[in-house]
Amino acid sequence: MTLTPSPRLLSLDFLRGLIMIFLMLESTELYTHLFAASEGTSLQPVLRQFFHHPWHGLRFWDLIQPGFMFMAGTAMAYSLEAQLKRGMTWRQSFAKTLKRSGWLFFWGVLDYAVRPQGLSFELWDVLTQLSFTTLVAFLVSQWRPGIQIGVSIALLVVTEVLYRFIGIPGFDQPFTDQHNFGNFMDLVLMNKMNSGGWVAINCLPTAAHTIWGLLAGRLLIAALPGALKLRWLAVAGLTALAIGYSLDATITPIIKRITTSSFVFASGGWCLLALALAYWWIDLKDHRRHLQFFTVVGMNALFIYLFIEIVAARWFNGYVEAIVYGLSQPLSVPQAAIAVASSLTLFALEWSLCAFLFRKGIFFKI
């Protein structure tokens, strides 16, 4: 595949920004407030899509983390191409990637480390997962596309084998919460299990998302007609969806919390189709109006993620909520309206922070 200099992929910045805006709104508890206010109405089933499925099934919110991983792979393709054009050797790029993975792991652990009862070591954060998937994707980045796809599928096969055939007493039920191989590995790694069913070794199968994102990025960089790139993305997305839902109906249930192979295929398919749609609408059709609302967030995705997870969750949210509630209560505003107003105020302040950094040309990278 011949690569050629390519302008910035605006659809990538848009999708990263869109994902982060969804996460910012979730961190303000907007979805929780709207869900409670919609009880008994036709809106509640729609709003339920903004919460993870409790176990077997797939909701919209289950696609956010795979999208995060997938877009990281797509961005990696552009970053590696830029490094190559600057004359960086493989060793230099590897050192840079290793450093980035190390920082992602550090911030991911720190996100969960400080608790009211003391320090805690946990590996369930998306950044700790990304630290692993980034390194894996880099190591296969120079291989032929067919081999990269083979590696991604091998990771899913290994995951299936671990869950189905290891047979550790008490953890030999592959798709049962608190009794599967992932739960056992959490005990080994952290001496604890997640009450919500999340497992640390999700980093193994979700590495496929980052590899597929890398492949998609390489395709978009390639000197090929835009229509052909779009066709490849759409075909790949539809194929992955067909495989994922077929596996769910026959062999392996779609379970986000332990990232089953059927979930990886299904969610990966939706990610590919989302990228195809954004690429067609923004980069091919040149619809670029109002994109800045998203791109100012997408270009500082890591910063705003750490801000909402560490600063906002532990201090900023409560501080702003206290102000909004204090100003609203004398006006006899309904509690549900105050809650929604508080969430929207928080989001507006966080978005404004991203806009300020964008205007100043400040972009946090590791």
Residue 4 falls inside a structural domain: no
How many domains, in total, are found in the chain? 1
Confidence of residue 131 (pLDDT cuts 50, 70, 90): very high
pLDDT at 307 over 90: yes
Residue 5 falls inside a structural domain: no
Per residue in 61-88, pLDDT (tens digit) is 999 999 999 999 999 999 999 999 999 9
Residue 2 falls inside a structural domain: no
Residue 338 falls inside a structural domain: yes
Mean pLDDT of the 342-357 span:
96
Residue 116 falls inside a structural domain: yes
Mean pLDDT of the chain: 93
Between CA 61 and CA 264 the distance in angstroms is 14
Residue 85: CB atoms within 10 A of its CB come to: 10
Residue 320 falls inside a structural domain: yes
pLDDT at 162 over 60: yes
Which residue range is the domain that position 18 belongs to?
A: 10-359
Residue 161 falls inside a structural domain: yes
pLDDT at 359 over 90: yes
Confidence of residue 7 (pLDDT cuts 50, 70, 90): low
Predicted pLDDT at 5? 42
Between CA 355 and CA 114 the distance in angstroms is 29
Residue 365 falls inside a structural domain: no
Per residue in 175-226, pLDDT (tens digit) is 999 999 999 999 999 999 999 999 999 999 999 999 999 999 999 999 999 9
71 Cβ contact partners less than 8 Å away, ≥ 6 residues apart: 12, 15, 16, 19, 213, 271, 275
Name the DSSP class of 313: I
